[in-house]
Amino acid sequence: MTDDLVARVREALRVVIDPELGYNIVDLGFVYAITAEQGDIRIVITATTKGCPATGFLKEGVAASAAEVRGVRSVDVVMTFEPPWTPSCIEPAIRSSLGFATVN
């Protein structure tokens, strides 16, 4: 049940679009971790840089989207910059459409 809830929350986060890159935060690799314990969800996310002006927007979008998932009782969103986000975190198809070279 916990794995199913985590999967449903991850899918719900696809509606959160990074305003700078124009893609969802899951495909961009901004979602570092999602854990669930009896309906309490903890989501660890990042952004492209520490000074990213969209940080608040992303946190609010993640919290709101996750809260809509059936079975979620509470949501805690944690922003981290460790490890630092890099373009290698992006899903390969999205990375190439953004013009990033293939990263090994």
Q: Which domains does the chain have, with CATH numbers?
A: 2-92 (3.30.300.130)
pLDDT digits (tens, 9 = 90+) for 24-82: 999 999 999 999 999 999 999 999 999 889 999 999 999 999 999 999 999 999 999 99
CB 61 within 8 A of CB 27: no
Backbone φ, ψ for residue 14 (5° rounding)? -65, -15
* Predicted model pTM: 0.91
- Helix axes 2-12 and 55-67, enclosed angle (nearest 10): 130
